Amino acid sequence: MTATDSRPITRATASDDLPPREPRVLSFSQRLSNWDLKISPYLYISPFFILFAIVGLFPIVYTAVISFQDWDLVRNTGTFVGFDQYIWILTQPHFWTALRNTFSIFLLSTIPQLVFALFIAAVLDRELRAKTFWRMAVLLPFVVAPVAVGLIFTAIFADNFGLVNTWLGNIGLEPIPWHTDPFWSHIAIATMVNYRWTGYNTLILLAAMQAVNRDYYEAATVDGAGPIRQFFSITLPSLKPTLIFVIITATIGGLQIFDEPRVFDQFGRGGAGQQWLTITLYLYDIGWGQWNFGRAAAMAWILFLIIVLVGVVNMLITRTFVRDEGLRSELSKRQQKQLAAQAKKEVSA
Amino acid sequence: MSLSMPPAIAMVEAIPDEPKRRRNRTIKIRGARPSFWSYLILTVVFLVGFFPLYWSFIIGSGDASSLRRPFGWVPGANFIANVTAVAGNEAVSFWPALWNSIYSSTLIALAVVVTSTLAGWAFAKLRFHGGPALLVFVVATLAVPAQLGVVPLYILFAELGWTGQIGAIIIPAVTSAFGVFWMTQYLRQAVPDELIEAARMDGASMIRTFWTVGVTAARPAAAMLFLFTFVGAWNNFFWPFIVLDRQNPTLPVALSLLQSNYFVDYSVVLAGVVLATIPLLLLFIFAGKQLVSGIMAGAVKG
């Protein structure tokens, strides 16, 4: 669009009453303008791309290089060892524990978070008084640093004298072994994640809810559907793309979890029996506890591949979901397929 | 000045506005008038969000044994004493951490806004060879975790002698793929192509067009990008924790150090937590509305 330079104007004015023109020679300022037009876009993107190449792309490529080496910290060079570092990691029991813990914390944080976020968003999606106030109120925990959230909840979930265990004692229940039992430590860490992110996701879902065409609800009400039925039959299907988006972002962030488990006790190594050791905690321990950069780099690539894998799975789910968006057919997918097969049979018969 | 109010509101309100008008018409049918229960539920949500912070203040204003005593709603008298203990702790360097957090987050947010606005303008409004492909590439890098770059970055900064320096956390953060995507999306719909053509017809150079048309239009989105980048940089922990040390940390790193003694006095730790959270709470009070609209606007487009 912006590729219209000044030439059309000169032609328009020139064609009126002037004698035939001599062969066009671009004036200096015209050439300057052309040059400006061609070069400018590259000039504008160059600050980003030059910096991005140095601090974003180069390290990623170099991590791959280092992951195939045995890195010598003193000489700051490495010797090529092939896939040894990857094999070393995949044969460590700690790695598999960390993988289990990461997925466990991820599931325990993502699923309740989405359920709560959907519920709160549905409540916010009304003609409330002081709308902005309530939206801000929901978002409040988002500005508290993950480390701060981690420290607060570590005190709340302290094994002795922690708020929850004291309260359980008051009503005559056994204290929960928050730090010794893997499952309960995952619950505690997932609670920190839920605390910080539920409000954020609520607002994303709320925005998507408000974009739903209100006529659907009108029609549903006329047809006699109650609010609950409307939520499950109209709101939820319309939210599918947004839900997938939220799930993908939660996956990318959740599989990298580090801050909260790091401060869950004062040693920061994932517990005496690796109860809450996560992949990134393990990566940190390999890199800056054992000072083995080759293995840390391999670990980083394994983490990236896991994220890509989960992302691809999500993508496949997205595709099947997005296809039926807006179709609102009364037939389910399965019925449609059956009908299609039937029609085919009849045609060929 | 860049937080000029009218465009910011115009941008955001533009999204929920249309459904709202429609809803007014259907409200009687739909019966979505909020009941007492809606307000009760939201109040509970707010209290659940607020309580951990208040509780930290209660414990942080008590003494070393306050965690063991039954919970009381009234703050103790030791908050100032605990804050002094945090600030006076030789192993933590709290005030340098506060200053480091303020200036590194500000510089990072400024740099991200400048690089993203420039690149976003080019991607959204200028035609050039390879533009669309480059944008797809930028978006694809959003899925790359920070962990993938830390080993070479550490080696690089160690070689430069920058470990322990704040520059080591600013430099890797001056670009943001999210920022470029955000500004591109915003500028694409905020600036009509006719406006740019008109500016060109009037003989404005590319940079002049960018400055008068692009930057003016980009302000509200740039302000939000600044806010989100600032909050993100302020809360960032993984990389600063790796590359900084006890003498020269940022706030999250200092907080984690507060706790890493063998004997943990939670009244001091939580006083530190409260102290480190106050700046962002202030920011939230003044700019929380922008954060809310930013999240909601991004969601509709994303």
Residue B292 — φ and ψ, nearest 5°?
-60, -50
A126 part of contact set with chain B, CB < 8 Å: yes
A174 touches A168 (CB < 8 A): yes
For residue A60, which residues of chain B lie inside 8 Å, CB to CB? 144, 148-149
Shortest Cα distance, chain B CAs vs residue A11, angstroms:
14
Domain A85-341 = CATH 1.10.3720.10:
yes
A47 part of contact set with chain B, CB < 8 Å: yes
The pair of three-digit structure tokens given for residue A322, joined into one six-digit string: 């997005």
> What is the interface pTM, i.e. ipTM, of the complex?
0.84
Please report, for chain B, the start and end positions of each structural domain, with discontinuous segments joined by +: 5-30+81-301
For residue B143, which residues of chain A lie inside 8 Å, CB to CB? 252, 307-308, 311
Mean pLDDT of A118-135: 88
Reported as a single tens digit per residue, the pLDDT across A299-310 is 999 999 999 898
What chain A residue is nearest to B272 in terms of C-alpha separation?
A: A148
Q: Is A26 left (phi over 0), alpha (psi -120 to 50) or beta?
A: beta
CB distance A152–B55 less than 8 Å?
yes
User: Would you call B220 helix, strand, or coil by DSSP?
Assistant: helix
Sites in chain B below the pLDDT cut of 70: 1-33, 68-71, 261-263, 298-302
CB distance B34–A266 less than 8 Å?
no
Shortest Cα distance, chain B CAs vs residue A295, angstroms:
10
For residue B270, which residues of chain A lie inside 8 Å, CB to CB? 151-152, 155
CB distance A287–B126 less than 8 Å?
no
Percent of chain B residues topping a pLDDT of 70: 84
Reported as a single tens digit per residue, the pLDDT across A64-96 is 999 998 888 878 888 889 899 999 999 999 999
For residue B153, which residues of chain A lie inside 8 Å, CB to CB? 55, 59
Please report, for chain A, the start and end positions of each structural domain, with discontinuous segments joined by +: 25-67, 85-341
More confident residue, A157 or A330: A157
CATH architecture for the domain at B5-30+81-301: Orthogonal Bundle (1.10)
Model confidence at A322, in pLDDT bands (50, 70, 90)? low
